[in-house]
Structure 1
Amino acid sequence: MSINAYLSKMRTSRKILLALTIALLVWLAWCLQGPAAIPVTAAQSLPTNFMWGVSTSAFQAEGGQLDSEWSRLNVTDKKQDRYGNSVDFRHRYREDVALARDLGVNTYRVGINWARVEPKQGQIDEAELAYYDDLILSLKQAGIAPLVTLDHFDYPGWASDQGGWTNPKTGEAFVAYAELIAKRYHKDVHMWITFNEAIGYIGGQAALHKLSLSETGRVRDNLVIAHGKVYDLIHQLDATAMVTSNIAWTGDRYGGSSMNRFSDWVFLDRIVDKCDVIAVDYYFSDLIEGLKGLTQQANWLWPPEPAGLYRALKHLQKKYPTKPILIAEIGMGTQDGKPRPDGVKREDALRDTVYWTQRARADGVNVIGYMVWSLTDNFEWGSYTPRFGLYTVNVLKDPTLKRIPTAAVPAYKEIIRDNGVGADYRPVSQQ
């Protein structure tokens, strides 16, 4: 190569590097600037058939001894709080259903724990099925529609022994369990979630079991196959059923949008043709702060950012225009119930996110429901310190497990009664 050709090539390389540097700086500037503020206008009431609800999961709330993925982890991980009886939903479900009824909710998202139903492979525990029978009955008697989650991050110990979700036999066994549950309850249950936050489930399995990339891919593939089969069998029993797998919103600040696109590519976009609704869990919109809360196991650090919910709903409506959208979980954590460092109050975050839900609906988003996480505090995957409940339960210090209402209880009652916040309401939190 001649000296002139060499110098020309160097100049070209510098130009490419300069262009890439400028592009990176522009992207960083855009990230730091954040989304534009949304005009604050009067909120319109939500429709009378809007789904107002509360959410929980089986393992987090039920308590008691069983052989499952998470009960084993709780024994081996000494950093975790001891699980014990959690908030004892297993025996206090009628009390909690009564609390939900008094709120005025028309929907209650509950979980059925596969490990409780099938403690040994092929062995069905009829006593535990009777418990779930009575749970569904108590909801029906209270005039509350059950939304059932079939798998919320937990599965039987025997399935773990065979490799968990890396083994296609686990998927086959899950479909058989789901068929048992669907046949038993399809006349009373018309809304189903197969897998809770599948992208987190996949990542959690990879981290817990130190899976290779190919093994992680098998987990994803087996979940996709199982979801499709369960979707089909539920619709064979109930053509009008609403079946989905909910997603976790990772935000639209500081790379959150890219993370959402990646997580959708991993799972949701592979099953979206077998989702009757897009169900989203919303806790934060700032990816960096969200990751900080996750890595420090301190989700009370998540900034609630209610206006981010509006942007999330608009994004999902644009990407999936033919699908209704359900807010399957939404809430705000505190540290042992103490005031948050940012000063945000639970009742204010509740009203603000409802306001932005109303705004999204008025602006053309077919959002059909809003489900608070959670009715009571519970076991937040290793710790009782995070408190999300409308009702506080001090598991570690109060053996009576008394349900103590927070200020968000009367706020939610008023919201449900009025189908939203009033036209004169203005958000407390900054955008």
Structure 2
Amino acid sequence: MRRKAGIAAIALGMALLSITSAAAEPGVDHSGSLPAGFLWGVAGSGFQSEGYSPDSNWSRYAASGKTHDPVGTSADFLHRYRDDIARARDLGVGVFRFGVEWARLEPAPGQYDPAAWAFYDDVVATIRAAGMRPMITLDHWVYPGWEFDRGGWRHADMLTDWLANARQVVDRYARFDPIWITFNEPSAYAFEEMQVGGLGPADVSGAQDRWVRAHRDIYDYIHAAQPGAQVSSNVAYFPVGEAAVDTTFLDRVADKLDFIGLDYYNSMSPTDFSFFNAFAEPWKANPAPDGIYYALRHYAERFPGRPLYVVENGMPTDNGAPRPDYDRSDHLSDAVYWVQRAVRDGMNVIGYNYWSLTDNYEWGSYEPRFGLYSVDVRNDPSLTRVPTAAVDTYRTIIANGGVPGDYRPVYPQTVCSLVDELASCLRPAR
């Protein structure tokens, strides 16, 4: 997951905000079970969930006081991965997304840690033994501390070093037929690095050029090692300004994406200004579950027929406290309703991952909680996994292939959500 509010607020200035009335679409029953081959999953990342972080750019950001909380143990996926993978299996999901952390694998230039390889070997084997398919992220915003000393993505040789590591990961795990995510949310990656000092504004263009080259190279390498592979780079969907943001990465690799990976969390609307406080307090942002429909429609129309996969979707709460307006179970059901509506309307949506299986480190703080299983890292040394009501809800949804045909969303539709710019205003889904 990532903090999006800052980018979207900037993007707002790039778009013309006008609201035009539109007639509602004819009343149609758009719900119904999803196809049998639909992929249900859970998502997480290495740095955010593993804990006991090795030297990296992000462990340095946390140690420097630029974050609210130290990383520490996080949810300790490093030692509890078998139990967490079993929890995912018991939900009935078919896809388990995680990251293979370069900083853990290569703690010094050219020196790979056998124990780190053994850890990821067993993670992949355990996922496969549980009947699930791995979704492996190669870069979820974290790189080794020694690369940080060299300048990180400012440094031209970073591309060569990144590819050398990524190729080793592919060589080792391609035989398990994973789904691959190359770079997690490249636009948000750039913004986050600027926030914490990894990149300056003048460095962003060069870093994005390297990410484009890295993606294109590793895409071909994966397909050579794993014929029929599914490879993408997930998009952080930014209301209002997505079309402008796309040009920095997505449009430059569009011919090397086997599906469009989409992350969606909230919308913004001229009738709801909570979004602008959500950078510091994301649990106050309007979750606008109907916005996932417009985000999917945006890419269905830009890439007709291309498979679409919701790689991340979820809802934060404030340190585990209930939201006054909405609960996780209803949010999950509503989101799935709108995914079903998208499929019913002809969009080629092939999968949905919930972010996240457990609460984890949200890039500087343990306060935002996204987990199906609650973990109080700040106050509970035992790191007990406490199931939320959404656990049973997701299990039922998966077993039934979606929400029931007579389900209607709990959360009201957002008036002109500005997802897909003005499309939600001009062509609202009813």
Superposition TM-score, scaled by structure 2 size: 0.89
Q: How many residues align?
A: 397
Matched, 1:292 2:281: no
AA aligned to 1:200 is A
Query: Which amino acid in structure 2 is aligned with residue 188 of structure 1?
Result: F
Summarize the Cα distance change of 1:40–1:157 in structure 2 as closer, same or farther, 3 Å threshold. farther
In structure 2, the gaps of 5 or more residues are 1-12, 414-430
| 1:414 pairs with 2:396 | yes
Q: Is residue 97–residue 138 contact of structure 1 (8 Å, CA) maintained in 2?
A: yes
C-alpha distance in 2, partners of 1:194/1:51? 19
Query: Which residue of 1 is the match for residue 326 of structure 2?
Result: 344
Alpha carbons 1:250, 1:286 under 8 Å: kept = no
Please give the residue correspondences for 1:333-412 in structure 2 after superposition, counting only pairs within 5 Å: 333-341=316-324, 343-412=325-394
Give the secondary-structure state (helix, strand or coil) at the position aligned to 1:30: coil
Q: Using the alignment, how far apart are the partners of 2:192 and 2:367 within structure 1?
A: 21
Q: Deviations over 1:252-292 (max 9, x none)?
A: xxxx1xx1011101110011111111000000121764453
Other-structure match for 1:321: 304
Shift of 1:44: 1.8
Q: What is the root-mean-square deviation of aligned Cα atoms in Å?
A: 2.0
Are the aligned partners of 1:392 and 1:406 in contact in 2 as well (CA < 8 Å)? yes
Q: Using the TM superposition, give the Cα deviation of residue 203 of structure 1 relative to its aligned residue in structure 2, in angstroms.
A: 1.8
Alpha-carbon separation, structure 2, partners of 1:357 and 1:417: 16
CA contact under 8 A between 1:280 and 1:325: conserved in structure 2?
yes
Q: 2:313 aligns with which of 330, 335, 344?
A: 330
Q: Distance in 2 between matches of 1:205 and 1:35?
A: 43
1:28-43 to structure 2, matched below 5 A, reads 28-30=17-19, 41-43=29-31
Q: In 2, Cα distance between the equivalents of 1:143 and 1:378?
A: 24
Verify: 1:272 aligned to 2:260, yes or no: no
Greater radius of gyration (CA): 1
Considering Cα pairs closer than 8 Å and 6+ residues apart, tell me whether 1 or 2 has the greater RCO. Answer: 2
Residue equivalent to 1:158: 146
Contact between 2:137 and 2:183, CA under 8 Å: does it hold in 1? yes
Task: Kindly provide the CA deviation profile for residues 148-181 of structure 1, in whole angstroms up to 9, marking residues without a partner as x.
Answer: 0011011100111111111121111111101000
**2:176 counterpart SS class:** coil
Which residue type is aligned with residue 326 of structure 1?
A: Y
**Which residue pairs with 1:109 in the alignment?**
97
Q: Secondary structure at the match of 2:323?
A: coil
Whole-angstrom CA distance in 1 between matches of 2:146 and 2:23: 47
Q: Which residue of 1 aligns with 2:54?
A: 66
In the aligned structure 2, how far is the partner of 1:356 from the partner of 1:282? 12
Match of 2:411? 429
| Residue identity opposite 2:287 in structure 1 | P
In structure 2, distance between residues paired with 1:80 and 1:114: 24
- TM-score where L is the length of structure 1: 0.88
Amino acid paired to 1:229: D
For the Cα contact (< 8 Å) 1:191–1:242, is it kept in 2? yes
> Identity of paired residues, percent?
45
Partner of 1:260: 242
Bigger mean CA offset, 285-294 vs 239-248: 285-294
Given that residues 148 and 189 in structure 1 are in contact (C-alpha distance below 8 angstroms), is that contact kept between their aligned partners in structure 2? no
Which structure has more helix as a fraction of its residues? 1
